[in-house]
A and B are shown apart, each in its own frame.
Chain A
Amino acid sequence: MQVKVLGPGCKNCVALEKATHEAIDRLGLDATVEKVTDYAEIAGYGVMATPALVVDEKVVSSGRVLTPTAIQELLTSVTAHRAS
């Protein structure tokens, strides 16, 4: 699983990245987390509010700092969706 945190490096983006790592650790997932700070690339995802979260090249959230629990739910639904 490939997870990307989109954001220019503001406080909220750092918070989202931290929460993402925590969610992945809790779930024990094999996932890479990458930070995307380039504006053109961020806009390329159609994202207009940072920070945003991308899972396997699909935008799953934008403009919110999600709690680790909320990210856990998102990641679980993505894995479940893939398995089915």
Chain B
Amino acid sequence: MSVVEHIPTTTRGRLATVVAVAAAWAGLYWLNGQVWDRLLDDLLGLDPDARVTESLHFFLFDTVKIALLLTGIIFVITVARSYMSVERTRALLGGRREGVGNVMAAGLGVVTPFCSCSAVPAFIGFVAAGVPIGVTLSFLIASPLVNEVAIGLLLTMFGFEVTLAYVGAGVSVAIVAGWVLGRLGVERWVEPFVFETRLGGQLVDDTAALTFNQRLQMGAEEVASILRRIWPYLLVGIGLGAVIHGWAPEDLFTRYAGPGNPFAVLVAVLIGIPLYSNAAGIMPLVVALHDKGLPMGTLLAFMMAVVALSLPELILLRRVLRVPLLVTYVAVVAAGIVAVGYLFNLLLA
């Protein structure tokens, strides 16, 4: 699929294309708000208050809504982030001391385009360039934790305040966890070959030379690649959300995980760590559970644990980090997420 050949190269033509696509997107979004009521209630004659109808409506409406939101958000963020690269980030972090370095690394982890599948070469590249281990870890924690998909979805579903809280919390966890790990002197638990790796060759940073049409092309490619990867998670997440929405008794979750249970955040994080999904798959669940009265802090903590710590990523990192460091890594990050959950339950209540 090549979009780039269909975009005019003149500024005017390009602007017209972008505006036309944006208008089509907005039209579909509006249509999604109208069509399901008509179809289910008027055309099929289903009882609008029946549980089946409510669940079905939730599923159909949310599937289209989330797919549209993700398409728009991923596209805009990919184009914006195409001006940043891992190479530039490393150059910015080289020679930084711990402390300031951790803060910068966590911030750059948010804005740098980075796939956790590159965690290992990036780790080696950073450490070989003299970036301290703790600072490198701050980057690697922040990158998946403060996720562009999650930011976009939170913003549209829960508003500015919750989104800001999420970003602030994620960055803070990454700063503190990286700093603590650095303090613990974890170098001895890093596989020795990392320190022996000599960086040869030249760095490629082809991001500066891209034309704007190429950046648009990258945005379109990224949308296609992410949607192709996450749609099963998305459908399962929305399906579960729909079932909870229609069938779960009002007080089922609040009784066990509501504000009355002091262990709710801890349990939510422990359940979230081994679960492997992504922000897009977890968000429909978060929305449904929030409707049922679960506090936002508990839900954000659950989401962060699912997104930040996953078994596949730990298995990847095992190639460069020894087991004691991996265990410490999980423990420190999990502790940070738990703290954030309790703090938000206090603040956002």
* Chain A interfacial positions (CB closer than 8 Å to B): 8, 10, 12, 39-40, 42-50, 52, 57-65, 67, 69
The CA of A39 and the CA of B206, in the complex, are separated in Å by 22
With A67-B2, A69-B2 known to touch, is A48 a contact of B320 (CB < 8 Å)? no
**Smallest CB-CB A-B distances: 9 pairs:** A48-B125, A43-B124, A46-B201, A45-B201, A49-B118, A48-B122, A59-B204, A48-B86, A10-B117
B44: CB under 8 A from chain A?
A: no
User: Which residue of A is nearest B126, CB measured?
Assistant: A48
The CA of A50 and the CA of B114, in the complex, are separated in Å by 10
Segment among B34-42, B54-62, B177-185, B192-200 that sits at the interface with chain A: B192-200
Nearest chain B CB to A54's CB is how many angstroms away? 8
Residues of A within 8 A of B324 (CB): none
Tell which of A43, A59, A69 touches B121, judged by Cβ atoms closer than 8 Å.
Answer: A43
| CB within 8 Å: A-B pair count | 82
Tell which of A8, A62, A65, A69 touches B204, judged by Cβ atoms closer than 8 Å.
Answer: A62
The CA of A42 and the CA of B221, in the complex, are separated in Å by 25
Nearest chain A CB to B93's CB is how many angstroms away? 12
Contact A50 B121 (CB under 8 A): yes
Contact A49 B122 (CB under 8 A): yes
Complex A-B: 21 CB contacts under 8 Å: A39-B124, A40-B124, A40-B197, A43-B121, A46-B200, A47-B204, A48-B90, A48-B122, A48-B126, A49-B114, A49-B118, A49-B121, A50-B121, A58-B201, A58-B202, A59-B202, A59-B204, A62-B204, A63-B113, A63-B115, A67-B2
Residues of A within 8 A of B196 (CB): 40
Nearest chain B CB to A11's CB is how many angstroms away? 8
B243: CB under 8 A from chain A?
A: no
Majority secondary structure, B binding face = helix
Residues of B within 8 A of A58 (CB): 201-202
Residues of A within 8 A of B200 (CB): 44-46
Residue among A45, A48, A64, A65 with the highest chain B CB neighbour number at 10 A: A48
With A39-B319, A49-B114, A67-B2 known to touch, is A44 a contact of B121 (CB < 8 Å)? no
B347: CB under 8 A from chain A?
A: no
Contact A40 B193 (CB under 8 A): yes
B120: CB under 8 A from chain A?
A: yes
The CA of A53 and the CA of B259, in the complex, are separated in Å by 52
Contact A48 B197 (CB under 8 A): no
Contact B122 A39 (CB under 8 A): no
Residues of B within 8 A of A45 (CB): 200-201
Residue among A10, A57, A62, A64 with the highest chain B CB neighbour number at 10 A: A62
Restricting to B74-89, which residues have a CB under 8 Å from any CB of A?
Answer: 85-87
User: Which residue of A is nearest B214, CB measured?
Assistant: A70
The CA of A61 and the CA of B204, in the complex, are separated in Å by 7
Contact B197 A43 (CB under 8 A): yes
Nearest chain B CB to A74's CB is how many angstroms away? 10
User: Which residue of A is nearest B114, CB measured?
Assistant: A49
With A44-B201, A46-B203, A59-B204 known to touch, is A39 a contact of B86 (CB < 8 Å)? no
The CA of A59 and the CA of B114, in the complex, are separated in Å by 19
Residues of B within 8 A of A65 (CB): 221, 225
B128: CB under 8 A from chain A?
A: yes
Contact A43 B319 (CB under 8 A): no
